[in-house]
Structure 1
Amino acid sequence: MYKEKMRKLFHTVKSVIMYPHIIGRINKIESNIIFFFPFYHTGGGEQVHADILNAVKDQFPVCILTEMSHNQDLKSEYQKSAELIELIRLGSKKSFRKFVAKRVARILNRKGNLTIFTCNSPFFDLMAPFLDDKIRKIDLIHTYRGDVVGDTEHRTLPYVNQLDNRVVLGNKQRELTIGFYKRFGLPDYLNERVVVIPNAVPLVNFNDSRRYPTKTLNILFVSRNGWEKRPRMFVDIAKKAFEKNMPFHFTMVGDFEEFGNQVTPNVTLAGRVSDKQKLGTFYKEAHVLLVTSVFEGLPMVILEGMSYGVVPISTGVGEIPYHVGEQSETGFIIDGSLKEDAMVLDFVDKITYVFENQTILQSFSKKVVKKVAGEFSKSAFIENYRRLILNK
């Protein structure tokens, strides 16, 4: 706690000293495409943001980072595609952010012909009411959270009618968003501004090193250590399998050091992995990917895993049930409305089922590769975002 307070104090002082320089850089922006993203640390959403920047890098966009990132894992990817301006604590500290938001809005209003793209930035929420109507505004929502007061949909209500477009990841999310608009009596014309652009992953060319039948089933969990990801449930699933003496091995990729003294011997804590090639080796060795989240949109880990032939077993949240399921032979869904103990048992049952029916697992593995290649291509992703951002 003390260390975190000192870190914040250091960056607060740095922000005050750097304020004239940061405002000066914003004043000098020449690009007519500006992104407001919160972070560049490790995360599926952050990777999507890097991909969006890459889609329009030939336009020399500027990306303003409004929060302090936990690490610099994706910073170089952002820098390859955009000029970065970091607000440090100016965008998040309560005593600074409203004043700074108004100042930045005034600067951008003078520039005129701009397109602003944002996602999950509380700083932009403060700035939006002060932006001129002539500035195009687009926001992206990764996960529908309209039932949670204070989350993105509610925060953006005061200015949602100013948005030229809102991007969502799938048709279910679009339906929920339109239903949210209706609940709050927003005009119907806003419905047409909600557009669907699915996430994408690059096609993977590799010789499948997994062998069926296998004596040990490799089960993967790739995430950051956030409460909504429920890493504790993954640990409990592994523990239950260990108690049953099942031939399963579990790997956790992410910042899960706090579980070091709590995991059973059938678990490997691989730590945070930012190198894509190294991460690819974990996908290549895995048979099954678990997603235990409380909520999601369409997580990148599922698409990444499927591109390597890893079969997902996931809670039925967000857009996941529309792409993963036994009927389509693309994975398995766990009822997220159950109590956590019951979900743990369901996960173990599903893992046991695929281990005992490996011809089904192998067939599903081939299906998920085809699905990703056919529906989540990078070329379509780039084309869709270029058309939207460049207004073509």
Structure 2
Amino acid sequence: MLKKIKRFAENITALSKYSNIKTQLSKKRNIYFFFPSWSFGGAERVHVDIMNLFNDPKPLCFITDRSITNGFQKEFQAAADVIELGRWAEKKELKQHLFKKLAEAINAQESPVVSGWCSRFMYDLIPLLEPHVQVIDIMHNFTDDDKGIEWYSIPHVPRINKRIVVGKVLIQQFKELYRLNNVPDKYLEKLTVIQNKIAFDDFFPVKDYEGVLQILFVARNSPEKRPNVLIRIAEICHQLNLPIEFKIIGDFKAEETAVPPNSLIIGEVHDKTILNNYYKEGHLLLLTSHRESWGLVVFEGMNMGVVPISTNVGELSNYISTKKENGILVENLDNIEDLAMLFVKELEIFVKNRSLLKSFSNNAFNTIKQLSDECDFDEAYRRELSVVAK
């Protein structure tokens, strides 16, 4: 009964949004974005960076799935006119009606661009778009099985004009995906690499390398990030009495997350100045993810001289390594205990050798300086999306 009441209330809320949806669709625009959420995460931060490149008029952005948190809501709303679809993207009758209205509005534009990431809603809209509409797909990473969004997109590959990926690893994954689904090789030519934007403040903060080491974990509280591995690392470090303090930043609640005495749940941090203060004080950042695309937090930390220790996932091996002395990659093991011990062993090395930590810290900072000099994020997205920029 309660479920029915909730659904009824959501349907009423959806209908109350219809006037605004019609108003937004009536405006002339260059670009329409479709993103699943504005929650806390690296992908969402990248989406804000992309939308901030375009104005006059602002792009129209549809949030097509349920956001776990309101992490980047303000940033999304500042960068674009945003409509959170809710039941309009879920209830069959509402969705089918909206598809028709969206297609009519977009098709009526002179040179429209439809772009998005990880949105089944966007893929379902594609067959209704006329040939002059440019469809530009953004792909940050692959999921773990054949139920992922990359598989869902296969029927639409011929209609997708471009697919933007963050690195060479994804290109190889697409090659294999297309091979498994008998997609002709010619569609690989539509893949283009754009490296994510790297913030470089050209400021190396003063750090105390002799005291208690500050370890950061900045991530969503989701299975692929494996916060349970991080907590196990902290437990082992506490048992070994290592001079280490862990700070956990993300959508974690202190009352729901049991951590050892050497760990502190910070929670969500959306203010960039506050987040940078944690990076300034930090010595090492741990990334325990099972999978990643690019690992944006790694580069955010390195910008402040924070040394990453990460599982070898996504594109990270192209940027950090023991050889470069700017970070550590460990084997991406499935066993929690074994994986935690890999991290602990690396932490013990830096606890014992502070001069090595300082050297890695400087090298991490200099790596970001070089990458920032080489980054063409703004120009590349303006070129690929082919619309008027700020």
Tell me the TM-score normalized by structure 1: 0.92
The alpha carbon displacement at 1:391 in A equals 6.8
**SS of equivalent residue, structure 2 residue 376:** helix
**Does 2:170 align with 1:179?**
no
Corresponding residue for residue 350 of structure 1: 346
The alpha carbon displacement at 1:338 in A equals 4.3
The alpha carbon displacement at 1:353 in A equals 1.1
Write the distance in 2 (CA, Å) between the matches of 1:31 and 1:324: 41
5+ unaligned residues in a row in structure 1: which ranges? none
The alpha carbon displacement at 1:364 in A equals 1.4
Corresponding residue for residue 64 of structure 1: 62
**Does 2:99 align with 1:101?**
yes
**Does 2:12 align with 1:13?**
yes
The alpha carbon displacement at 1:254 in A equals 1.2
The alpha carbon displacement at 1:46 in A equals 0.6
- Asked if the contact 2:204–2:305 (Cα under 8 Å) also holds between the matched residues in 1, the reply is no
Distance 1:7 1:205, change over 3 A: farther
The alpha carbon displacement at 1:105 in A equals 2.3
**Does 2:48 align with 1:77?**
no
Write the distance in 1 (CA, Å) between the matches of 2:373 and 2:71: 24
- Asked if the contact 1:331–1:364 (Cα under 8 Å) also holds between the matched residues in 2, the reply is yes
**Does 2:126 align with 1:128?**
yes
The alpha carbon displacement at 1:230 in A equals 0.8
Structure 2 residue aligned with 1:330, among 301, 310, 326?
326
- Asked if the contact 2:195–2:375 (Cα under 8 Å) also holds between the matched residues in 1, the reply is no
Write the distance in 2 (CA, Å) between the matches of 1:377 and 1:275: 25
Write the distance in 2 (CA, Å) between the matches of 1:311 and 1:373: 14
Write the distance in 1 (CA, Å) between the matches of 2:4 and 2:366: 49
The alpha carbon displacement at 1:4 in A equals 9.1
The alpha carbon displacement at 1:377 in A equals 5.4
Distance 1:353 1:12, change over 3 A: farther
- 1:214-233: CA deviations, max 9, x gaps? 23111100111111111111
**Does 2:379 align with 1:383?**
yes
Write the distance in 2 (CA, Å) between the matches of 1:89 and 1:384: 35
The alpha carbon displacement at 1:309 in A equals 0.9
- Asked if the contact 1:298–1:319 (Cα under 8 Å) also holds between the matched residues in 2, the reply is yes
The alpha carbon displacement at 1:91 in A equals 1.5
Corresponding residue for residue 228 of structure 1: 224
**SS of equivalent residue, structure 1 residue 199:** coil
Letter in 2 for 1:86: E
Distance 1:168 1:290, change over 3 A: same
Write the distance in 2 (CA, Å) between the matches of 1:7 and 1:221: 36
Corresponding residue for residue 253 of structure 1: 249
Letter in 2 for 1:179: E
- Asked if the contact 1:67–1:91 (Cα under 8 Å) also holds between the matched residues in 2, the reply is yes
- 1:91-122: CA deviations, max 9, x gaps? 23456434433442243223352111111112
**Does 2:287 align with 1:291?**
yes
Corresponding residue for residue 170 of structure 1: 167
The alpha carbon displacement at 1:166 in A equals 0.4
How many residues matched?
388
Letter in 2 for 1:217: L
Write the distance in 2 (CA, Å) between the matches of 1:3 and 1:340: 39
**SS of equivalent residue, structure 1 residue 218:** strand
**Does 2:53 align with 1:50?**
no
- Asked if the contact 2:29–2:109 (Cα under 8 Å) also holds between the matched residues in 1, the reply is no
Distance 1:196 1:379, change over 3 A: closer
Corresponding residue for residue 314 of structure 2: 318
- Asked if the contact 2:21–2:83 (Cα under 8 Å) also holds between the matched residues in 1, the reply is no
More deviation in 264-273 or 329-338? 329-338
- Asked if the contact 2:202–2:369 (Cα under 8 Å) also holds between the matched residues in 1, the reply is no
Structure 2 residue aligned with 1:143, among 137, 141, 144?
141
Runs of 4+ off more than 6 Å: 2-7
- Asked if the contact 1:200–1:303 (Cα under 8 Å) also holds between the matched residues in 2, the reply is no
The alpha carbon displacement at 1:344 in A equals 0.6
**Does 2:190 align with 1:193?**
yes
Q: Identify the structure with bigger relative contact order (alpha carbons < 8 Å, sequence gap 6+).
A: 2
- 1:227-262: CA deviations, max 9, x gaps? 111111111110111111111110001121166562
**SS of equivalent residue, structure 1 residue 90:** helix
**SS of equivalent residue, structure 1 residue 337:** coil
Write the distance in 2 (CA, Å) between the matches of 1:352 and 1:8: 53
Corresponding residue for residue 158 of structure 1: 155
The alpha carbon displacement at 1:54 in A equals 0.9
Write the distance in 2 (CA, Å) between the matches of 1:155 and 1:262: 37
Write the distance in 2 (CA, Å) between the matches of 1:253 and 1:9: 36
- 1:261-306: CA deviations, max 9, x gaps? 6211100111111111001111111111001111110021111011
**SS of equivalent residue, structure 2 residue 147:** coil
- Asked if the contact 2:141–2:293 (Cα under 8 Å) also holds between the matched residues in 1, the reply is yes
Distance 1:249 1:137, change over 3 A: same
- 1:157-187: CA deviations, max 9, x gaps? 0101111110111112112212321232212
Distance 1:155 1:314, change over 3 A: same
Summarize the alignment of residues 13-52 of structure 1 with structure 2, pairs less than 5 Å apart. Answer: 13-19=12-18, 21-52=19-50
Summarize the alignment of residues 237-252 of structure 1 with structure 2, pairs less than 5 Å apart. Answer: 237-252=233-248
Write the distance in 2 (CA, Å) between the matches of 1:269 and 1:5: 36
Distance 1:258 1:218, change over 3 A: closer
